[in-house]
Structure 1
Amino acid sequence: MMRQEQVREGAAGAILFDAALSPQVDDDWFAPDYWRARGALRMQTGGRGGVAIIETPAGECVLRHYRRGGLVAKWMGDRYLWIGAGRSRSFAEFRLLADMAEQGLPVPGVVAARYQRHGLFYTADLITRRIPNAPTLAECLAAGRLDGELAELVGALVGRFHRVGIWHADLNAHNILVTNSDLYLIDFDRGERRQPAEGWRLANLQRLRRSLVKLGAAAQGEAIFEETLWKPLLYRYELSLGTSASGLL
Protein backbone atom coordinates (compact mmCIF):
# COMPACT_ATOMS: atom_id res chain seq x y z
CA MET A 1 0.00 0.00 0.00
CA MET A 2 1.42 3.37 -1.05
CA ARG A 3 1.79 5.98 1.65
CA GLN A 4 -0.62 8.91 1.36
CA GLU A 5 0.72 11.58 3.68
CA GLN A 6 -1.74 14.32 4.58
CA VAL A 7 -1.73 17.18 7.07
CA ARG A 8 -4.88 18.40 8.80
CA GLU A 9 -4.45 21.90 10.21
CA GLY A 10 -6.25 22.99 13.38
CA ALA A 11 -6.57 26.16 15.40
CA ALA A 12 -3.76 25.23 17.78
CA GLY A 13 -1.76 22.65 15.87
CA ALA A 14 -1.81 20.01 13.15
CA ILE A 15 -2.15 16.28 12.53
CA LEU A 16 0.03 14.39 10.04
CA PHE A 17 -1.41 11.04 9.00
CA ASP A 18 -1.33 8.28 6.42
CA ALA A 19 -4.67 8.50 4.63
CA ALA A 20 -4.03 5.09 3.06
CA LEU A 21 -4.51 3.57 6.53
CA SER A 22 -7.33 5.78 7.77
CA PRO A 23 -8.75 9.05 6.42
CA GLN A 24 -10.65 9.75 9.65
CA VAL A 25 -7.84 10.72 12.03
CA ASP A 26 -8.70 13.67 14.26
CA ASP A 27 -7.75 14.96 17.72
CA ASP A 28 -9.88 12.30 19.43
CA TRP A 29 -7.43 9.66 18.25
CA PHE A 30 -4.78 11.11 20.59
CA ALA A 31 -6.97 10.96 23.73
CA PRO A 32 -6.87 7.66 25.66
CA ASP A 33 -10.25 8.52 27.22
CA TYR A 34 -11.81 8.54 23.74
CA TRP A 35 -10.73 4.94 23.21
CA ARG A 36 -11.64 3.96 26.77
CA ALA A 37 -15.21 5.17 26.23
CA ARG A 38 -15.45 2.87 23.21
CA GLY A 39 -13.95 -0.15 24.93
CA ALA A 40 -10.91 0.13 22.67
CA LEU A 41 -8.24 1.03 25.24
CA ARG A 42 -6.28 -2.18 25.71
CA MET A 43 -3.60 -0.88 28.08
CA GLN A 44 -2.22 2.39 29.41
CA THR A 45 1.02 3.04 31.28
CA GLY A 46 2.44 6.22 32.75
CA GLY A 47 -0.75 8.29 32.63
CA ARG A 48 -0.92 11.23 30.25
CA GLY A 49 2.81 11.16 29.63
CA GLY A 50 2.96 7.46 28.88
CA VAL A 51 1.93 4.88 26.31
CA ALA A 52 -1.50 3.50 25.45
CA ILE A 53 -2.41 0.45 23.38
CA ILE A 54 -5.54 1.26 21.37
CA GLU A 55 -7.74 -0.64 18.92
CA THR A 56 -8.31 1.74 16.00
CA PRO A 57 -9.92 1.44 12.56
CA ALA A 58 -6.33 1.05 11.30
CA GLY A 59 -5.74 -1.90 13.66
CA GLU A 60 -4.08 -2.21 17.04
CA CYS A 61 -1.80 0.75 17.64
CA VAL A 62 0.53 2.34 20.16
CA LEU A 63 -0.24 5.93 21.20
CA ARG A 64 2.75 7.71 22.71
CA HIS A 65 2.77 11.16 24.30
CA TYR A 66 6.19 12.80 24.13
CA ARG A 67 7.63 13.68 27.48
CA ARG A 68 11.09 14.84 28.47
CA GLY A 69 13.38 12.73 30.62
CA GLY A 70 16.13 13.55 33.04
CA LEU A 71 16.49 16.74 35.06
CA VAL A 72 14.92 18.95 32.40
CA ALA A 73 11.62 17.09 32.82
CA LYS A 74 11.14 18.80 36.16
CA TRP A 75 10.93 22.18 34.44
CA MET A 76 9.64 21.40 30.96
CA GLY A 77 7.55 18.25 31.45
CA ASP A 78 6.00 17.50 28.08
CA ARG A 79 6.72 20.89 26.48
CA TYR A 80 9.21 21.53 23.67
CA LEU A 81 10.41 24.80 22.14
CA TRP A 82 8.57 25.56 18.90
CA ILE A 83 10.95 25.70 15.92
CA GLY A 84 8.58 24.76 13.11
CA ALA A 85 6.16 21.99 12.16
CA GLY A 86 8.66 19.92 10.19
CA ARG A 87 11.06 19.91 13.13
CA SER A 88 8.49 18.98 15.75
CA ARG A 89 9.43 15.72 17.46
CA SER A 90 6.33 13.88 16.30
CA PHE A 91 6.38 14.96 12.64
CA ALA A 92 10.12 14.26 12.36
CA GLU A 93 9.78 10.78 13.82
CA PHE A 94 6.71 10.00 11.69
CA ARG A 95 8.57 10.85 8.48
CA LEU A 96 11.74 9.03 9.46
CA LEU A 97 9.78 5.90 10.35
CA ALA A 98 7.80 6.09 7.10
CA ASP A 99 10.97 6.45 5.02
CA MET A 100 12.65 3.54 6.80
CA ALA A 101 9.61 1.33 6.32
CA GLU A 102 9.69 2.10 2.59
CA GLN A 103 13.32 0.93 2.59
CA GLY A 104 12.22 -2.37 4.10
CA LEU A 105 13.74 -1.75 7.52
CA PRO A 106 11.98 -3.46 10.47
CA VAL A 107 10.26 -0.56 12.24
CA PRO A 108 6.67 0.05 13.39
CA GLY A 109 4.32 1.34 10.72
CA VAL A 110 3.21 4.94 11.21
CA VAL A 111 -0.43 5.98 11.47
CA ALA A 112 -0.53 9.59 12.69
CA ALA A 113 1.41 12.33 14.46
CA ARG A 114 0.23 15.52 16.14
CA TYR A 115 1.60 18.69 17.64
CA GLN A 116 -0.30 21.30 19.63
CA ARG A 117 1.00 24.84 20.03
CA HIS A 118 1.18 26.54 23.43
CA GLY A 119 2.72 29.95 22.79
CA LEU A 120 6.47 29.47 22.35
CA PHE A 121 6.15 25.76 23.09
CA TYR A 122 4.33 22.69 21.81
CA THR A 123 3.32 19.20 22.93
CA ALA A 124 3.38 16.15 20.70
CA ASP A 125 1.96 12.66 20.17
CA LEU A 126 2.60 9.76 17.81
CA ILE A 127 0.50 6.74 16.80
CA THR A 128 2.23 3.69 15.31
CA ARG A 129 1.10 0.18 14.46
CA ARG A 130 1.64 -2.25 17.32
CA ILE A 131 3.98 -5.18 16.76
CA PRO A 132 2.19 -8.10 18.50
CA ASN A 133 3.81 -10.84 20.57
CA ALA A 134 7.11 -8.98 20.70
CA PRO A 135 8.94 -8.82 24.04
CA THR A 136 11.82 -6.40 24.31
CA LEU A 137 15.41 -7.57 24.28
CA ALA A 138 15.56 -6.48 27.93
CA GLU A 139 12.68 -8.84 28.73
CA CYS A 140 14.40 -11.64 26.83
CA LEU A 141 17.53 -11.05 28.88
CA ALA A 142 15.56 -11.13 32.13
CA ALA A 143 13.93 -14.41 31.04
CA GLY A 144 17.29 -16.00 30.21
CA ARG A 145 16.61 -16.02 26.47
CA LEU A 146 19.54 -13.88 25.36
CA ASP A 147 22.15 -16.27 23.96
CA GLY A 148 24.78 -16.12 21.25
CA GLU A 149 22.26 -16.81 18.48
CA LEU A 150 19.97 -13.96 19.52
CA ALA A 151 22.99 -11.70 20.06
CA GLU A 152 23.98 -12.33 16.44
CA LEU A 153 20.52 -11.35 15.26
CA VAL A 154 20.79 -8.12 17.26
CA GLY A 155 24.12 -7.35 15.61
CA ALA A 156 22.63 -7.95 12.16
CA LEU A 157 19.68 -5.69 13.03
CA VAL A 158 21.84 -2.77 14.11
CA GLY A 159 24.09 -3.25 11.09
CA ARG A 160 21.13 -2.95 8.70
CA PHE A 161 20.29 0.49 10.08
CA HIS A 162 23.86 1.72 10.27
CA ARG A 163 24.54 0.60 6.70
CA VAL A 164 21.97 3.11 5.41
CA GLY A 165 23.05 5.88 7.80
CA ILE A 166 20.34 5.63 10.47
CA TRP A 167 21.40 6.90 13.90
CA HIS A 168 19.23 5.87 16.84
CA ALA A 169 19.35 8.42 19.68
CA ASP A 170 18.71 5.85 22.41
CA LEU A 171 19.88 2.43 21.23
CA ASN A 172 19.23 0.16 24.20
CA ALA A 173 17.75 -3.24 25.03
CA HIS A 174 14.31 -1.73 25.73
CA ASN A 175 14.02 -0.43 22.15
CA ILE A 176 14.64 -3.74 20.40
CA LEU A 177 11.61 -6.01 19.95
CA VAL A 178 11.97 -9.76 19.37
CA THR A 179 9.35 -11.75 17.47
CA ASN A 180 9.40 -15.34 16.26
CA SER A 181 10.29 -14.21 12.77
CA ASP A 182 12.20 -10.92 13.05
CA LEU A 183 13.65 -8.21 15.26
CA TYR A 184 12.42 -4.61 15.24
CA LEU A 185 13.90 -1.31 16.33
CA ILE A 186 11.48 1.17 17.93
CA ASP A 187 11.40 4.70 19.42
CA PHE A 188 13.17 6.90 16.90
CA ASP A 189 12.54 10.15 18.74
CA ARG A 190 15.49 12.42 17.79
CA GLY A 191 16.76 9.75 15.40
CA GLU A 192 18.22 10.94 12.11
CA ARG A 193 20.06 10.08 8.93
CA ARG A 194 23.79 10.67 9.02
CA GLN A 195 26.71 10.39 6.66
CA PRO A 196 28.61 7.11 7.15
CA ALA A 197 31.19 7.53 9.90
CA GLU A 198 32.83 5.09 12.29
CA GLY A 199 32.56 7.48 15.24
CA TRP A 200 28.79 7.68 15.60
CA ARG A 201 28.33 4.01 14.71
CA LEU A 202 30.70 2.87 17.45
CA ALA A 203 29.15 5.29 19.95
CA ASN A 204 25.73 3.82 19.11
CA LEU A 205 27.00 0.30 19.74
CA GLN A 206 28.67 1.35 22.98
CA ARG A 207 25.33 2.70 24.16
CA LEU A 208 23.73 -0.69 23.48
CA ARG A 209 26.59 -2.44 25.28
CA ARG A 210 26.16 -0.25 28.38
CA SER A 211 22.44 -1.05 28.38
CA LEU A 212 23.07 -4.80 28.27
CA VAL A 213 25.67 -4.65 31.03
CA LYS A 214 23.43 -2.48 33.20
CA LEU A 215 20.59 -4.99 32.81
CA GLY A 216 22.79 -7.86 33.95
CA ALA A 217 24.11 -9.42 30.75
CA ALA A 218 27.60 -9.48 32.30
CA ALA A 219 26.44 -10.93 35.64
CA GLN A 220 28.63 -14.02 35.12
CA GLY A 221 31.66 -11.88 34.44
CA GLU A 222 32.98 -9.52 31.76
CA ALA A 223 35.01 -12.21 29.99
CA ILE A 224 32.02 -14.54 29.63
CA PHE A 225 29.86 -11.65 28.38
CA GLU A 226 32.51 -10.80 25.77
CA GLU A 227 32.82 -14.34 24.44
CA THR A 228 29.21 -15.52 24.57
CA LEU A 229 27.28 -12.36 23.69
CA TRP A 230 29.28 -9.35 22.61
CA LYS A 231 31.64 -11.02 20.14
CA PRO A 232 28.78 -12.85 18.35
CA LEU A 233 26.86 -9.55 18.19
CA LEU A 234 29.83 -7.72 16.67
CA TYR A 235 30.52 -10.58 14.26
CA ARG A 236 27.09 -10.33 12.65
CA TYR A 237 27.17 -6.54 12.87
CA GLU A 238 30.35 -6.48 10.80
CA LEU A 239 28.93 -8.94 8.28
CA SER A 240 25.78 -6.85 7.90
CA LEU A 241 27.63 -3.56 7.69
CA GLY A 242 30.52 -4.85 5.59
CA THR A 243 33.17 -3.23 7.77
CA SER A 244 35.12 -3.78 10.97
CA ALA A 245 34.01 -2.74 14.46
CA SER A 246 37.40 -3.56 15.99
CA GLY A 247 37.22 -0.44 18.13
CA LEU A 248 34.65 -2.27 20.27
CA LEU A 249 36.59 -5.48 20.84
Structure 2
Amino acid sequence: MAESEICVRDNHSACLLHPDYLGQVSEAWFSPEYWGKLARPVSSGGRGGAWFVDADGHQVVLRKYLRGGLMTRLSRSSYVFLGEQHVRSFAEFRLLNWLTELELPVPKPVAAWYRRMSPLHYQASIIIERIDNTAPLADLIGSLDDNGWRNLGVNLRRFHDAGVKHADLNCFNVLVRGDEFFLIDFDKGRIVQSPASAGWKSANLERFARSLRKLAGAKTQERVWYFLMNGYNGSQEA
Protein backbone atom coordinates (compact mmCIF):
# COMPACT_ATOMS: atom_id res chain seq x y z
CA MET A 1 0.00 0.00 0.00
CA ALA A 2 1.31 3.44 -0.91
CA GLU A 3 2.24 5.92 1.83
CA SER A 4 -0.28 8.37 0.35
CA GLU A 5 -3.24 6.14 1.16
CA ILE A 6 -4.77 4.53 4.23
CA CYS A 7 -7.35 1.74 3.98
CA VAL A 8 -10.19 1.38 6.51
CA ARG A 9 -12.50 -1.65 6.42
CA ASP A 10 -15.90 -2.29 7.98
CA ASN A 11 -17.90 -5.46 7.26
CA HIS A 12 -18.68 -5.43 3.52
CA SER A 13 -17.25 -1.98 2.79
CA ALA A 14 -13.79 -0.45 2.47
CA CYS A 15 -12.48 3.09 2.20
CA LEU A 16 -9.20 4.52 0.94
CA LEU A 17 -8.21 7.80 2.59
CA HIS A 18 -5.56 10.35 1.76
CA PRO A 19 -3.51 10.79 4.96
CA ASP A 20 -4.40 14.50 5.05
CA TYR A 21 -8.00 13.49 5.77
CA LEU A 22 -7.41 10.71 8.30
CA GLY A 23 -9.84 11.02 11.19
CA GLN A 24 -12.16 13.31 9.26
CA VAL A 25 -13.87 11.19 6.60
CA SER A 26 -16.57 8.70 7.60
CA GLU A 27 -18.69 6.39 5.47
CA ALA A 28 -21.54 8.90 5.82
CA TRP A 29 -19.54 11.38 3.72
CA PHE A 30 -20.33 9.27 0.63
CA SER A 31 -24.08 9.90 0.98
CA PRO A 32 -25.38 13.22 -0.43
CA GLU A 33 -28.37 12.90 1.92
CA TYR A 34 -25.99 13.13 4.89
CA TRP A 35 -24.92 16.61 3.78
CA GLY A 36 -28.41 17.95 3.08
CA LYS A 37 -28.23 21.57 1.85
CA LEU A 38 -24.43 21.46 1.99
CA ALA A 39 -24.50 19.23 -1.12
CA ARG A 40 -25.34 20.83 -4.48
CA PRO A 41 -25.74 18.74 -7.65
CA VAL A 42 -23.17 19.26 -10.39
CA SER A 43 -25.20 20.40 -13.37
CA SER A 44 -22.86 20.21 -16.38
CA GLY A 45 -21.70 17.04 -18.14
CA GLY A 46 -21.67 13.47 -16.92
CA ARG A 47 -24.55 11.16 -16.03
CA GLY A 48 -25.58 12.86 -12.83
CA GLY A 49 -24.58 11.41 -9.50
CA ALA A 50 -22.10 14.17 -8.59
CA TRP A 51 -22.34 16.90 -5.95
CA PHE A 52 -20.35 19.91 -4.80
CA VAL A 53 -20.09 19.54 -1.03
CA ASP A 54 -19.02 21.87 1.77
CA ALA A 55 -17.57 19.09 3.93
CA ASP A 56 -16.71 20.55 7.32
CA GLY A 57 -14.94 23.46 5.65
CA HIS A 58 -13.41 21.38 2.84
CA GLN A 59 -14.72 22.13 -0.64
CA VAL A 60 -14.98 18.74 -2.33
CA VAL A 61 -16.80 16.87 -5.07
CA LEU A 62 -18.67 13.64 -4.29
CA ARG A 63 -19.27 11.36 -7.27
CA LYS A 64 -21.11 8.07 -7.43
CA TYR A 65 -20.14 5.58 -10.13
CA LEU A 66 -23.13 5.16 -12.44
CA ARG A 67 -23.56 3.18 -15.62
CA GLY A 68 -24.62 4.64 -18.95
CA GLY A 69 -26.08 3.26 -22.14
CA LEU A 70 -27.66 -0.17 -22.40
CA MET A 71 -26.02 -1.38 -19.19
CA THR A 72 -28.45 0.73 -17.17
CA ARG A 73 -31.10 -1.88 -18.02
CA LEU A 74 -29.17 -4.35 -15.87
CA SER A 75 -28.13 -1.97 -13.12
CA ARG A 76 -27.67 1.78 -12.79
CA SER A 77 -25.14 1.76 -9.97
CA SER A 78 -23.67 -1.70 -9.37
CA TYR A 79 -20.66 -3.37 -10.97
CA VAL A 80 -19.30 -6.90 -11.09
CA PHE A 81 -16.78 -7.49 -8.31
CA LEU A 82 -13.55 -8.89 -9.79
CA GLY A 83 -11.33 -8.22 -6.80
CA GLU A 84 -10.49 -5.08 -4.87
CA GLN A 85 -7.66 -4.16 -7.25
CA HIS A 86 -10.31 -3.70 -9.97
CA VAL A 87 -12.75 -1.57 -7.93
CA ARG A 88 -13.26 1.59 -9.95
CA SER A 89 -13.16 4.08 -7.10
CA PHE A 90 -9.93 2.61 -5.71
CA ALA A 91 -8.31 2.58 -9.16
CA GLU A 92 -9.20 6.23 -9.79
CA PHE A 93 -8.05 7.29 -6.32
CA ARG A 94 -4.65 5.67 -6.86
CA LEU A 95 -4.28 7.12 -10.35
CA LEU A 96 -5.07 10.63 -9.10
CA ASN A 97 -2.58 10.17 -6.28
CA TRP A 98 0.10 9.24 -8.78
CA LEU A 99 -0.74 12.14 -11.10
CA THR A 100 -0.63 14.53 -8.15
CA GLU A 101 2.85 13.26 -7.30
CA LEU A 102 3.84 13.92 -10.93
CA GLU A 103 2.56 17.50 -10.43
CA LEU A 104 0.08 17.18 -13.27
CA PRO A 105 -2.99 19.48 -13.08
CA VAL A 106 -5.63 17.17 -11.55
CA PRO A 107 -7.77 17.32 -8.40
CA LYS A 108 -6.29 15.78 -5.28
CA PRO A 109 -8.14 12.64 -4.12
CA VAL A 110 -9.72 12.74 -0.67
CA ALA A 111 -11.27 9.29 -0.26
CA ALA A 112 -12.64 6.34 -2.24
CA TRP A 113 -15.27 3.89 -1.02
CA TYR A 114 -17.03 0.73 -2.11
CA ARG A 115 -19.53 -1.67 -0.60
CA ARG A 116 -20.18 -5.28 -1.57
CA MET A 117 -23.90 -5.53 -2.30
CA SER A 118 -23.59 -9.29 -2.89
CA PRO A 119 -20.71 -11.71 -3.52
CA LEU A 120 -20.75 -10.65 -7.17
CA HIS A 121 -21.61 -6.93 -7.13
CA TYR A 122 -20.49 -3.68 -5.54
CA GLN A 123 -21.31 0.03 -5.51
CA ALA A 124 -18.69 2.77 -5.30
CA SER A 125 -18.10 6.48 -4.82
CA ILE A 126 -15.14 8.84 -4.72
CA ILE A 127 -14.49 12.22 -3.11
CA ILE A 128 -11.97 14.63 -4.61
CA GLU A 129 -10.94 18.16 -3.73
CA ARG A 130 -12.80 20.81 -5.69
CA ILE A 131 -10.58 23.07 -7.80
CA ASP A 132 -11.62 26.63 -6.97
CA ASN A 133 -12.82 29.25 -9.46
CA THR A 134 -12.96 26.99 -12.51
CA ALA A 135 -15.49 26.46 -15.27
CA PRO A 136 -15.84 23.58 -17.75
CA LEU A 137 -14.23 24.18 -21.12
CA ALA A 138 -17.65 23.37 -22.60
CA ASP A 139 -18.92 26.69 -21.20
CA LEU A 140 -15.94 28.72 -22.47
CA ILE A 141 -15.33 27.53 -26.03
CA GLY A 142 -16.47 30.80 -27.54
CA SER A 143 -14.42 32.99 -25.21
CA LEU A 144 -11.08 31.16 -25.13
CA ASP A 145 -8.47 32.99 -27.21
CA ASP A 146 -5.91 31.42 -29.55
CA ASN A 147 -3.19 31.43 -26.91
CA GLY A 148 -5.56 29.67 -24.54
CA TRP A 149 -6.08 26.84 -27.03
CA ARG A 150 -2.33 26.64 -27.50
CA ASN A 151 -1.82 26.36 -23.73
CA LEU A 152 -4.42 23.61 -23.58
CA GLY A 153 -2.47 21.70 -26.21
CA VAL A 154 0.70 22.07 -24.13
CA ASN A 155 -1.12 20.62 -21.13
CA LEU A 156 -2.57 17.68 -23.04
CA ARG A 157 0.94 16.87 -24.29
CA ARG A 158 2.19 16.79 -20.68
CA PHE A 159 -0.32 14.08 -19.85
CA HIS A 160 0.46 12.07 -22.97
CA ASP A 161 4.21 12.31 -22.42
CA ALA A 162 3.65 10.84 -18.94
CA GLY A 163 1.70 7.95 -20.49
CA VAL A 164 -1.63 9.10 -19.04
CA LYS A 165 -4.63 7.84 -21.00
CA HIS A 166 -7.87 9.62 -20.08
CA ALA A 167 -10.75 7.30 -20.94
CA ASP A 168 -13.27 10.09 -21.62
CA LEU A 169 -11.42 13.19 -22.79
CA ASN A 170 -14.14 15.72 -23.58
CA CYS A 171 -14.94 19.40 -23.07
CA PHE A 172 -16.76 18.76 -19.78
CA ASN A 173 -13.75 17.00 -18.27
CA VAL A 174 -11.43 19.97 -18.83
CA LEU A 175 -11.68 22.75 -16.26
CA VAL A 176 -10.37 26.25 -16.95
CA ARG A 177 -9.11 28.90 -14.54
CA GLY A 178 -7.54 31.84 -16.30
CA ASP A 179 -4.65 30.38 -18.30
CA GLU A 180 -4.66 27.12 -16.28
CA PHE A 181 -6.24 23.84 -17.42
CA PHE A 182 -7.13 20.82 -15.29
CA LEU A 183 -8.32 17.34 -16.27
CA ILE A 184 -10.97 15.63 -14.14
CA ASP A 185 -12.91 12.35 -14.07
CA PHE A 186 -10.27 9.66 -14.48
CA ASP A 187 -12.68 6.72 -14.17
CA LYS A 188 -11.18 3.91 -16.29
CA GLY A 189 -8.10 6.05 -16.95
CA ARG A 190 -4.71 4.38 -16.80
CA ILE A 191 -0.98 4.72 -17.31
CA VAL A 192 0.08 3.25 -20.65
CA GLN A 193 3.21 1.18 -20.15
CA SER A 194 4.61 2.12 -23.58
CA PRO A 195 3.88 5.87 -23.77
CA ALA A 196 6.02 6.30 -26.89
CA SER A 197 3.40 4.48 -28.96
CA ALA A 198 1.39 7.10 -30.88
CA GLY A 199 -1.80 5.17 -31.60
CA TRP A 200 -3.58 5.65 -28.30
CA LYS A 201 -2.59 9.33 -28.21
CA SER A 202 -4.13 9.99 -31.63
CA ALA A 203 -7.32 8.21 -30.60
CA ASN A 204 -7.42 10.24 -27.38
CA LEU A 205 -7.09 13.52 -29.30
CA GLU A 206 -9.72 12.48 -31.83
CA ARG A 207 -12.15 11.78 -29.01
CA PHE A 208 -11.57 15.30 -27.75
CA ALA A 209 -11.99 16.71 -31.28
CA ARG A 210 -15.37 14.97 -31.58
CA SER A 211 -16.49 16.58 -28.33
CA LEU A 212 -15.47 20.00 -29.67
CA ARG A 213 -17.28 19.45 -32.98
CA LYS A 214 -20.42 18.34 -31.18
CA LEU A 215 -20.52 21.43 -28.97
CA ALA A 216 -19.11 24.14 -31.26
CA GLY A 217 -19.56 22.89 -34.81
CA ALA A 218 -17.01 21.78 -37.39
CA LYS A 219 -15.79 25.26 -38.41
CA THR A 220 -14.98 26.34 -34.86
CA GLN A 221 -13.38 22.98 -34.09
CA GLU A 222 -11.13 23.21 -37.15
CA ARG A 223 -10.04 26.77 -36.29
CA VAL A 224 -9.21 26.19 -32.63
CA TRP A 225 -7.67 22.78 -33.36
CA TYR A 226 -4.91 24.49 -35.33
CA PHE A 227 -3.78 26.41 -32.24
CA LEU A 228 -4.31 23.48 -29.88
CA MET A 229 -2.04 21.28 -32.01
CA ASN A 230 0.54 24.11 -32.22
CA GLY A 231 0.80 23.85 -28.45
CA TYR A 232 0.68 20.05 -28.43
CA ASN A 233 3.50 19.81 -30.96
CA GLY A 234 5.58 22.56 -29.34
CA SER A 235 5.13 25.03 -32.17
CA GLN A 236 4.81 28.79 -31.66
CA GLU A 237 3.47 29.52 -35.15
CA ALA A 238 0.71 32.13 -35.35
Q: TM-score, normalised by structure 2?
A: 0.90
Q: In structure 2, what is the equivalent of residue 148 of structure 1? A: 146
| Contact kept? 2:4, 2:97, Cα under 8 Å | no
Q: In structure 1, what is the equivalent of residue 234 of structure 2? A: 239
Match of 1:72, SS? helix
**2:66 counterpart letter in structure 1:** R
Q: In structure 2, what is the equivalent of residue 171 of structure 1? A: 169
Shift of 1:181: 4.5
| Contact kept? 1:3, 1:20, Cα under 8 Å | no
Structure 1 residue ranges (4+ consecutive) displaced by more than 4 angstroms after TM superposition: none
Change (3 A) 1:86 1:97: same
| CA offset digits 1:156-181 (Å, max 9, x no partner) | 11101000100000001110000025
| CA offset digits 1:200-243 (Å, max 9, x no partner) | 0000000000000000243xx3xx643x3111111111129xxx
| Contact kept? 2:107, 2:129, Cα under 8 Å | yes
Match of 1:25, SS? coil
Shift of 1:5: 1.2
Q: In structure 1, what is the equivalent of residue 213 of structure 2? A: 213
Q: Percent identity?
A: 40
Q: In structure 2, what is the equivalent of residue 17 of structure 1? A: 17
**1:113 counterpart letter in structure 2:** A
Superposition pairs of residues 153-232 of structure 1, within 5 angstroms? 153-194=151-192, 195-196=194-195, 197-218=197-218, 221=219, 225-226=221-222, 228-232=223-227
**1:13 counterpart letter in structure 2:** S
Range with bigger deviation, 91-100 or 146-155: 146-155
| CA offset digits 1:43-67 (Å, max 9, x no partner) | 1258x96111111246100000000
| Contact kept? 2:109, 2:128, Cα under 8 Å | yes
| Contact kept? 2:212, 2:221, Cα under 8 Å | no
Match of 1:174, SS? coil
Q: In structure 2, what is the equivalent of residue 99 of structure 1? A: 98
Whole-Å separation in 1 of the counterparts to 2:58 and 2:3: 16
Q: In structure 2, what is the equivalent of residue 138 of structure 1? A: 138
Q: In structure 1, what is the equivalent of residue 29 of structure 2? A: 29
Whole-Å separation in 2 of the counterparts to 1:57 and 1:101: 23
| Contact kept? 1:178, 1:184, Cα under 8 Å | yes
1:82 aligns with 2:84: no
Q: In structure 1, what is the equivalent of residue 51 of structure 2? A: 52
RMSD of aligned alpha carbons: 2.0
Structure 2 unaligned regions, length at least 5: none
Range with bigger deviation, 115-124 or 12-21: 12-21
Superposition pairs of residues 104-143 of structure 1, within 5 angstroms? 104-119=103-118, 120-141=120-141
How many pairs were matched up? 228
Match of 2:233, SS? helix
Shift of 1:35: 1.2
Match of 1:16, SS? strand
Whole-Å separation in 2 of the counterparts to 1:12 and 1:121: 11
Whole-Å separation in 1 of the counterparts to 2:16 and 2:153: 33
**1:54 counterpart letter in structure 2:** V
